[in-house]
Amino acid sequence: MRRNIILFDLDGTLTDSGPGIMKAGQYALRAFGIERDWRELSFFVGPPLSETFAHFVSAENVDAAVAKFREYYQQDGWLDNAPYPGIPALLAHLKSEGKRLFVATSKLDTMAERILEHFGLAPYFDAICGAPEGDKEAGKKVNVVKAALKAAGCDDLSRAVMVGDREHDVIGAHLAGLDVIGVLYGYGSREELTAAGADYISETPEALETLILSTD
């Protein structure tokens, strides 16, 4: 795979942030009288929050639900998180091989930076592209992917690839013109990623490294 620009999703791809995100989702839903076991809320991991909450609350309450989520997440939830085993070594090796690494996440850009810095992963990335505060459109996956490509100065999309664990990663990257590697160690299934049209599937960070460093 002759790609020198690698875009990574954050949640479920670089870090196992699920527990903190799901507990924040539970906290927000409870504020609207909806009781759910946090373990059943894995669908909160990955997509823009406004899209997820739209399935539970009225349109006029979506912003309030997102605010409740962030109230919990920014205090406690973001620390209920850890890099997947093998990810730090993967990033270090890709950098040593001359790959340029970027993050493209629908999470708030400030929170994405905070998490990656906390776990010592930020130095591996040329840019961390996330959702600006208060701009739902810019936080859509296709737009954070485009922001990362712009930061990379990429004018040949065949030199870039997106790595993510959920269908919205695949759909957003395809809309931006990129091939996608779907990873199975996160929160998406093979069925979900295949149905979304993932161009490649990788089961582990080690297999992901082999795939990225292989030649076509």
CA distance linking residue 190 with residue 46, whole number of Å: 16
Is residue 9 annotated as part of the catalytic site, yes or no?
A: yes
Yes or no: say if 91 and 116 are a contact pair by the CB < 8 Å rule: no
CA distance linking residue 15 with residue 81, whole number of Å: 7
Yes or no: say if 215 and 2 are a contact pair by the CB < 8 Å rule: yes
Count of C-beta atoms within a 10 Å radius of residue 135: 11
CA distance linking residue 94 with residue 32, whole number of Å: 44
Residue 88 has phi, psi (to 5 degrees) of: -55, -40
| Residue written as token pair 């799901």 | 22
Residue 44 has phi, psi (to 5 degrees) of: -75, -20
Kindly name the residue from 9, 11, 16, 109 that is annotated as catalytic: 9
Count of C-beta atoms within a 10 Å radius of residue 55: 8
- What residues are labeled active site? 9
